């Protein structure tokens, strides 16, 4: 039928795309764009730029969905190595913007940390792909080193949010590799106790103060708590059905800061209400579940571990952002995935979804056509 | 690549992964479910709370001050008005770059003010206050630069307005008293709301109001005059910039007040007292309306409206004649002989005296068994006096005897029913209660027992007894009404708006003065008529050409105690120690329309100084005669009698 009118490589490309995931992603992107349109007071220029980001993102998705597990696996170590080198270069020669050294100028500004969002889970997955699973304690130790090195480099920039997310993406690979539940529980206890001891004995007063502000920002409504207070007002006053699109007074009257980037969820919540929020969360759940499902359909261990980790990392982005904007998690600069304005993040995420799609087992019928 | 994995291991790994993926999917569901619950809490549970916070964020209530009610006299003459006042204001953010350095800053403000000062005089004080205020306010808020712009300045600025973006004229209403000093003690004045006022008022209602009634009618009837504040609900952004008007509630102007006061009569009363210190109170006895309430000297209430200058205030406060002191309400004087008609009523009621009873006056009274002589003003005595003569000639001995035999308790009780010793309850601020002494009072106040001699002195309105001119006018009006006491009041009526009908207030009747028979009242009134009309009356000098019957009573209040055998000689005393001249009366005697009390501080005798003023007030009110009679033989027809003629 129609497929016969297209070149066979095109047909293959489309067939490798997971239509369910693409459809839900598209719906989310659409919701994101109309929310952005409202958040920037109907300034179309910004919306166009974001739309271009999505076009780039979709093209990337298309390209990366073509890459097979075994091909990508070969890139893992290179990408990881180059990433580490770039991170070191950033610390030595990077540009300083907004008080942090994150950017490297190579014709265009690049953020090597962004590369690591993919490189770290790829590297750890690659490492485990060659091991017997569930992993031995030693292998877990090695994996942890692979994670910690880039994470420390990024922390040094400093970019706490990104470094923690990258750490999480690596840890998810260890989780999917089958690390024992006892070890997980032990690690959690260890981290909790360690953090407590660190807070009590290993910190200066000003550092403790900073942590306190992070955990309870609303103690200082004029300063650190202003964002979160205004964001809760915006969401709360949205009520059940919301104030309708373009009618969120908190956002439009400038009370809500960072409203087209990190706090766009509050704009959405104010204008579309609880109902809108449930729909949005529902879309995200479908995306994450679909990602996890595709991971179970992975070509090989590397494919499964990588796709599973990328899906859960996406979930963590969402959780950290919505938790922050609704005032139950500390304020860390994490955008709402695929909705917040910002090109790099969108392209990285779309590449990740491309990878997830590409990791799926190739069906025999396509191989026969080859 | 590494070692190849066996099929079995791969299947195990696949199963391991699937289990992990399912656990992950469940964790995802629970975690995002947690976010969902959080959103439910914020958007459903706490919806009202956050809606309120959001309104507080973006809604700003801008009050609209109601128009203050105007005040009119009984004939519709305007006594207190509102004038438009123009204020020059500056919005900092709207002042453009002046020195072309591409920035808007304080230097631009300086340059703009410099340019502006060539059009409008800006005093150093204006600029100092402005510079303080504008730095404290939001850059989008209007800050007053100059108040009380002259008409010329307003016109000058209006023409050049386009050259001064950010500068604007704001129209404000300001109180204005067209009659200036006249009736200032009645009308009172408004002033800027101070901290003391803030404690007592409804802050919502006064949010946009600058002025509040401080004294007089302005103070006492603040509630009626103020009206109900309105507001506009404005939408503002995070920077306080106004976006839109959400709703508007118009203010309801205050009530226009119509006073019982007759401004012509008031002017006449104040003119009659000019050069003296004193008070004249005129009441319509039929309804208690205050027709005139003069306290001289007066002051100009307009001085107080925008905050009186320190110099002006000190001048008024420290003036020896105390113009700020409302003598008619706050001044307490020994009533002297003016209260003899009321004392006579007490005697008749308690049956201490009766119409036919005569008392022999040898020129003094002695308490049985005591040597001290209580002197009658007439040294040689009046001989045998009955009540009519006692009132008409103001025989002290008759009343010494009466009071002595009645005793202070009965005396005090009866006099209180005339309103002595308590506030009349007039609708003006700062009224004094005067003092109607009793044995208990003396015990408490002076730690002394009440002597019979105290009663004797009280019998002629001296001693501890103190009354305000208003109380005297009220008491004589009560006599005119044969005991029917009506609360004196300044407010006659009101109307809700210019086009609304006038509503009259119903006079408030208070406790009646008792009598055994209506004839008693007639008897006392006849005595008072004889004060003026009989050949033996103490105020007979004022009956020349009198076209109606007038009842009255003269009085002289001692300021200075005279020794037993000494003689009062005004010529040898400092003016400030001269007696106060008093007169009370009403007319026409048959059907009273006006009751008057006059006091001239240190004016000498009541018959000579106070009585002629009372007649002129009555002539003015009853006959419309507002001018003095032409001068005959180089001296006014009712020129004061020599001062040594006592009553």
> HSE-up of B370 (CA within 13 Å, CB side)?
13
Same structural domain for residues B65 and B24? no
CATH number at residue B107: 3.90.1310.10
- Mutation for B interface: A72, A177, A237, most B CBs within 10 A: A237
Closest partner CB to A253 (pick from B3, B10, B237): B237
Mean local confidence (pLDDT), A340-359? 90
Give pLDDT, residue A5: 60
Q: Is 50 exceeded by the pLDDT of residue A268?
A: yes
Collect all residues with Cβ–Cβ distance below 8 Å to B356 and sequence separation of at least 6. Answer: B386
Contact residues on chain A for B51, CB-CB shorter than 8 A = 236-237, 239
- Domain final residue, candidates B239, B257, B275: B257
- Domain final residue, candidates B29, B55, B81: B55
Q: Which of A127, A204, A167 is nearest to A332 (CA)?
A: A167
Closest partner CB to A281 (pick from B5, B13, B32): B32
- Domain final residue, candidates B257, B285, B312: B257
Asked whether the beta carbons of B338 and B279 are under 8 A apart, the reply is no
Same structural domain for residues B305 and B346? yes
Same structural domain for residues B177 and B271? no
Mean local confidence (pLDDT), A305-330? 93
Q: Do A239 and B53 touch (CB under 8 A)?
A: no
Q: Do A293 and B21 touch (CB under 8 A)?
A: yes
A304 in reach of chain B (CB within 8 A): yes
Asked if the structure places residue B281 within a domain, the reply is yes
Rounded CA-CA distance A36/A47 in Å is 7
Q: Is 50 exceeded by the pLDDT of residue A149?
A: yes
Rounded CA-CA distance B52/A236 in Å is 10
Q: Do A326 and B38 touch (CB under 8 A)?
A: yes
Rounded CA-CA distance B370/B364 in Å is 13
Rounded CA-CA distance A165/A183 in Å is 21
Least confident span in A23-32, A268-277, B128-137: B128-137
Closest partner CB to A240 (pick from B43, B236, B243): B43
Mean local confidence (pLDDT), A156-170? 87
DSSP B288-302: TEEEEEEEES---TH
Q: Kindly report the CA angle at B10 between B7 and B13, in degrees rounded to 5?
A: 155
Same structural domain for residues B253 and B268? no
Asked if the structure places residue B248 within a domain, the reply is yes
**A243 by DSSP, 3-state: which?**
coil
Dihedral sign from CA coordinates of B404, B405, B409, B415: negative
Asked if the structure places residue B551 within a domain, the reply is yes
Query: What residue of A is the nearest CA neighbor of B235?
Result: A253
Q: Cα–chain-centroid distance for residue A85?
A: 22
Asked whether the beta carbons of B334 and B560 are under 8 A apart, the reply is no
Same structural domain for residues B224 and B277? no
Asked if the structure places residue B6 within a domain, the reply is no
Mean pLDDT by 10 residues, chain B (647 residues): 51 90 96 96 93 85 87 93 88 83 82 88 86 79 83 88 87 88 92 82 80 91 91 82 83 92 94 92 95 92 83 87 90 92 94 90 90 88 90 93 93 94 91 92 91 91 92 96 94 89 89 90 94 91 91 85 55 74 93 95 83 94 82 42 39
Same structural domain for residues B354 and B229? no
What is the end-to-end Cα distance of chain A in Å, rounded?
A: 20
Contact residues on chain B for A288, CB-CB shorter than 8 A = 25, 28
Give pLDDT, residue B279: 94
**Radius of gyration for the alpha carbons in chain B, expressed in angstroms and rounded:** 37
Q: Do B238 and A289 touch (CB under 8 A)?
A: no
Count the domains in chain B: 3
Rounded CA-CA distance B166/B169 in Å is 10
Task: State the ipTM, two decimals.
Answer: 0.92
- Supply the pTM of this predicted model: 0.68
Rounded CA-CA distance B227/B495 in Å is 12
Same structural domain for residues B173 and B309? no
Cα dist. B209→A62, A256, B63, B173, B188 in Å?
69, 34, 8, 10, 18
Helix (H) / strand (E) containing A212: helix A205-215
Rounded to the nearest angstrom, the minimum Cα separation between A244 and chain B is 14
A residues 193-232 closer than 8 Å to B (CB): 230, 232
Question: Maximum CA pair distance of chain B?
Answer: 152
Give pLDDT, residue A367: 46
Rounded CA-CA distance B231/B247 in Å is 8
Q: Do A133 and B16 touch (CB under 8 A)?
A: yes
A177-229: per-residue pLDDT in tens? Answer: 999 999 999 999 999 999 888 888 877 777 777 777 777 777 777 666 788 88
Asked whether the beta carbons of B483 and B521 are under 8 A apart, the reply is yes
- Mutation for A interface: B17, B138, B237, most A CBs within 10 A: B17
Contact residues on chain B for A237, CB-CB shorter than 8 A = 47, 50-51, 53-54
Q: What are phi and psi of B80, to 5 degrees?
A: -140, 125
Closest partner CB to B18 (pick from A296, A318, A327): A296
Burial A245-277 (b: 16+ CB within 10 A, else e): eeebbbbbbbbbebbbbbbbbbbbbbbbbbebb
Same structural domain for residues B32 and B165? no
A130 in reach of chain B (CB within 8 A): yes
Q: Which of B571, B574, B541, B568 is nearest to B556 (CA)?
A: B568
Give pLDDT, residue B222: 93
Class of residue B230 by CB neighbours under 10 A (exposed 0-12, middle 13-18, buried 19+) = middle
Same structural domain for residues B267 and B253? no
The residue count for chain A: 370
Same structural domain for residues B21 and B88? no
Q: Is 60 exceeded by the pLDDT of residue A108?
A: yes
State the catalytic residues of B: 337
* B196: number of Cβ within 10 Å: 7
Same structural domain for residues B289 and B391? yes
Q: Which of A258, A289, A264 is nearest to A340 (CA)?
A: A264
Asked if the structure places residue B233 within a domain, the reply is yes
- Mutation for B interface: A236, A290, A322, A336, most B CBs within 10 A: A236
Q: Which residues are B233's β-sheet partners?
A: B61, B247
Query: What residue of A is the nearest CA neighbor of B33?
Result: A281
DSSP secondary structure code for residue B46 in this structure: T
Q: Do B20 and A240 touch (CB under 8 A)?
A: no
Give pLDDT, residue B99: 80
Q: Do B42 and A232 touch (CB under 8 A)?
A: yes
Give pLDDT, residue A29: 95
DSSP secondary structure code for residue B45 in this structure: I
Asked whether the beta carbons of A319 and A53 are under 8 A apart, the reply is no
Rounded CA-CA distance B276/A63 in Å is 108
Same structural domain for residues B458 and B320? yes
Contact residues on chain B for A133, CB-CB shorter than 8 A = 9, 12-13, 16
Closest partner CB to B17 (pick from A238, A308, A327): A308
Residue B248 structural domain: 60-257
Helix (H) / strand (E) containing B139: none
């Amino acid at each position: 039928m129609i497929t016969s009118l297209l070149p066979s490589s095109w047909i293959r490309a489309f067939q490798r795309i997971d239509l369910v995931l693409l459809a839900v992603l598209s719906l989310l992107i659409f919701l994101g764009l109309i929310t952005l349109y409202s958040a920037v007071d109907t300034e179309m220029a910004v919306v166009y730029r974001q739309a271009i980001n999505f076009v780039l993102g979709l093209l990337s998705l298309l390209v990366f969905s073509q890459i097979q597990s075994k091909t990508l696996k070969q890139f893992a170590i290179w990408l990881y190595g180059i990433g580490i080198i770039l991170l070191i270069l950033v610390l030595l020669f990077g540009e300083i913007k907004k008080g942090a050294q994150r950017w490297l100028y190579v014709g265009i500004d690049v953020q090597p940390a962004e590369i690591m969002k993919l490189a770290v889970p790829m590297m750890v997955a690659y490492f485990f792909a060659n091991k017997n699973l569930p992993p031995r304690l030693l292998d877990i130790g090695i994996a942890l080193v692979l994670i910690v090195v880039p994470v420390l480099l990024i922390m040094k920039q400093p970019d706490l949010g990104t470094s923690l997310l990258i750490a999480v993406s690596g840890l998810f690979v260890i989780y999917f590799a089958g690390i024992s539940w006892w070890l997980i529980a032990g690690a959690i206890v260890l981290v909790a106790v360690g953090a407590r001891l660190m807070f009590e004995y290993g910190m200066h007063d000003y550092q403790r103060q900073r942590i306190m502000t992070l955990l309870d920002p609303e103690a200082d409504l004029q300063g650190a708590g202003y964002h979160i207070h205004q964001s809760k007002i915006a969401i709360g006053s949205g009520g059940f059905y919301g104030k309708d699109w373009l009618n969120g007074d908190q956002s439009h009257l400038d009370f809500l800061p960072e409203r087209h980037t990190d706090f766009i969820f509050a704009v959405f919540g104010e204008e579309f209400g609880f109902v809108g929020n449930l729909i949005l969360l529902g879309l995200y759940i479908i995306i994450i579940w679909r990602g996890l499902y595709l991971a179970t359909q992975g070509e090989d261990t590397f494919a499964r571990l990588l796709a599973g980790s990328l899906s859960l990392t996406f979930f963590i982005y969402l959780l950290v952002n919505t938790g922050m904007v609704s005032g139950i998690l500390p304020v860390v600069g994490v955008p709402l995935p695929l909705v917040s304005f910002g090109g790099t993040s969108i392209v990285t995420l779309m590449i990740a979804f491309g990878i997830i799609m590409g990791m799926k087992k190739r069906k025999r019928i396509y191989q026969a056509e080859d | 690549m590494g070692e190849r994995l066996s099929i079995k291991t791969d299947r195990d790994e696949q199963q391991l992964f699937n289990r992990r993926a399912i656990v992950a999917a469940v964790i995802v569901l629970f975690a995002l479910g947690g976010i969902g619950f959080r959103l439910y809490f914020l958007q459903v549970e706490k919806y009202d709370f956050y809606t309120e916070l959001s309104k507080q964020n973006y809604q700003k209530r801008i009050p609209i001050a109601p128009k203050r009610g105007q005040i009119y006299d009984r004939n519709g003459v305007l006594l207190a008005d509102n004038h438009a006042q123009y204020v020059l204001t500056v919005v900092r953010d709207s002042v453009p770059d002046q020195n072309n350095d591409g920035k808007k800053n304080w230097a631009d403000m300086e340059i703009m003010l410099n340019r502006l000062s060539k059009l409008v005089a800006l005093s150093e004080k204006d600029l100092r206050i402005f510079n303080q205020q504008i730095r404290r306010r939001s850059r989008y808020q209007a800050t007053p630069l100059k108040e009380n712009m002259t008409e010329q300045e307003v016109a000058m600025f209006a023409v050049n307005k386009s050259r001064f973006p950010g500068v604007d004229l704001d129209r404000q209403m300001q109180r204005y008293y067209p009659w200036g000093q006249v009736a200032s003690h009645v009308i009172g004045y408004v002033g800027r709301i101070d901290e003391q006022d803030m404690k007592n008022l409804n802050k919502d209602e006064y949010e946009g109001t600058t002025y509040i009634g401080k004294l007089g009618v302005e103070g006492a009837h603040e509630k009626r005059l103020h009206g109900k504040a309105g507001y506009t609900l404005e939408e503002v952004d995070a920077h306080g910039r106004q976006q839109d008007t959400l709703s508007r509630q118009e203010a309801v102007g205050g009530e226009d007040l119509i006073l019982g006061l007759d401004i012509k009569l008031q002017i006449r009363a104040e003119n009659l007292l000019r050069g003296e210190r004193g008070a004249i109170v005129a009441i319509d006895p039929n309804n208690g309306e205050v027709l005139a309430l003069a306290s001289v000297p007066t002051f100009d209430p307009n001085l107080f409206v925008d905050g009186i200058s320190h110099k002006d205030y000190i001048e008024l406060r420290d003036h020896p004649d105390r113009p700020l002191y409302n003598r008619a309400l706050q001044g307490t004087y020994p009533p002297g002989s003016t209260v003899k008609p009321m004392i006579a009523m007490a005697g008749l009621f308690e049956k201490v005296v009766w119409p036919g009873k005569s008392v022999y006056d040898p020129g003094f009274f002695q308490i049985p068994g005591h040597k001290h002589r209580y002197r009658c003003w007439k040294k040689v005595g009046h001989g045998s006096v009955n009540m009519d003569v006692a009132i008409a000639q103001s025989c002290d001995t008759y009343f010494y005897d009466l009071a002595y035999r009645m005793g202070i308790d009965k005396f005090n009780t009866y006099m209180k029913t005339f309103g002595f010793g308590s506030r009349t309850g007039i609708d003006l601020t700062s009224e004094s209660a005067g003092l109607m002494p009793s044995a208990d009072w003396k015990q408490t106040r002076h730690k002394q027992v009440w002597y019979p001699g105290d009663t004797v002195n009280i019998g002629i309105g001296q001693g501890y007894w103190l009354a305000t001119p208003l109380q005297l006018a009220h008491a004589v009006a009560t006599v005119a009404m044969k005991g029917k006491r009506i609360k004196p009041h300044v407010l006659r009526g009101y109307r809700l708006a210019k086009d609304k009908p006038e509503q009259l207030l119903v006079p408030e009747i208070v406790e009646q003065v008792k009598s055994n028979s209506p004839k008693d009242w007639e008897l006392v009134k006849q005595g008072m008529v004889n004060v003026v009309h009989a050949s033996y009356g103490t105020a007979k000098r004022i009956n020349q050409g009198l076209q109606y019957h007038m009842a009255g009573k003269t009085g002289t209040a001692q300021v200075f105690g005279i020794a037993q055998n000494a003689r009062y000689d005004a010529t040898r005393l400092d003016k400030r120690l001269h007696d106060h001249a008093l007169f009370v009366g009403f007319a026409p005697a048959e059907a009273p329309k006006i009751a008057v009390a006059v006091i001239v501080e240190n004016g000498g005798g009541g018959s000579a100084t106070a009585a002629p003023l009372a007649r002129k007030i009555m002539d003015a009110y009853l006959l419309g005669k507002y001018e003095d009679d032409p001068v005959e033989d180089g001296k006014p027809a009712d020129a004061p009698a020599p001062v040594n003629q006592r009553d």
